[in-house]
Amino acid sequence: MSEIYSNNHLKITKNINNIFRIELKNSNPVLLLSLTKFIKGSTCSDDYLLLTFKSYDVQMFTSYKENYKKKLGINTAANMVATLGGQINMLYNEYSATFLGVNTENIIVINCNIFLSLDVELMREIDEQNNVTIFTPFTSSDFFFSPEIKIATKLPLVIHYKTSYFSLGCLLLYVLLSCDDAFYKEYLMNSENMEQLFKKYLENHPIKDTKLYWLISRCLVEEPEKRSILFI
């Protein structure tokens, strides 16, 4: 078995038959079941510590963006909406769970078109008021911060679950801008909101006024309750 990736929460390995294994340190049925919906032919162990599947290509997004940097763009963003956005929607609809945000270091890429989050650390349950609670501090380099996390000054922090939608929107913008995070640094440093920055940075981009453009725009709305992940 060769190791593809590991962190404090999981390990990804591959054997000579292109069988991949995602092994968790702690049982997490919600995460593994969210993966099986998008990884065809994958199976979970009964204790939800192991996911097994066959694939011709598996890598983490940090490697993927270096290997395919010139090819990143509209198709990649659209695939992210379908898979990573689909995973986020599934977590909410079926398990009342979400991610606080998306971290590029914990996104797995399967066959160059399936993008899924493995971020155990950022998973949270959604309460009856559609909120999630943050008990531990994070930095703005851990994931793309929503405005409500950006301005927070104390813990615990209770915020709307659609904080993840904003983070996804930032990731999509990051991909469309060839993985240049200048927009995010500007957002963190200035009072200008991301909706304005989004329009500025994509003013002359080919997706301007397309369905993907408006989807990202709806993800980056300042008020969490008004955010959505919809192709309309």
Q: What are the structural domains of the chain?
A: 58-226 (1.10.510.10)
Q: pLDDT confidence of 26, banded at 50, 70, 90?
A: very high
Kindly report, residue by residue over 79-116, the tens digit of the pLDDT: 999 999 999 999 999 999 999 999 999 999 999 999 99
Does the pLDDT of residue 183 top 90, yes or no?
yes
Q: CB–CB of 138/202 below 8 Å?
A: no
What SS3 string covers 129-154? CCEEEECCCCCCCCCCCCHHHHCCCC
At residue 70, the pLDDT reads 72
Angle formed by the axes of helices 163-176 and 194-201, to 10°?
Answer: 20
Integer Cα distance of 62 and 84 in angstroms: 15
Position 191 scores a pLDDT of: 66
Strands (E), the chain: 2-6, 10-14, 19-24, 43-44, 50-54, 58-60, 97-99, 107-110, 114-117, 123-125, 131-134, 157-160
Q: Hey, what are 74's tokens?
A: 């509209």
* Residues 183, 167, 43, 51, CA torsion sign: positive
**For residue 69, is pLDDT > 80?**
no
User: What pLDDT score was predicted for residue 232?
Assistant: 61
Query: Above 80 in pLDDT, residue 192?
Result: no
Say whether 102 sits in a helix, a strand or coil. Answer: coil
The total number of residues written for the chain in this structure: 232
Residue 68 is predicted with a pLDDT of: 84
The one-letter amino acid at 229: I
CA separation for the pair 101, 43 (Å, rounded): 26
pLDDT tens for residues 113-156?
999 999 999 999 999 999 999 999 999 999 999 999 999 999 99
- As a whole number of angstroms, the distance between CA 38 and CA 50 comes to 16
What pLDDT does 194 receive? 87
SS3 at position 127: coil
Q: What is the pTM of this model?
A: 0.95
CA distance 187 to 195: 10
Q: Is 62 helix (H, G, I), strand (E, B) or coil?
A: helix
Nearest CA among 151, 154, 178 for reference residue 166: 151
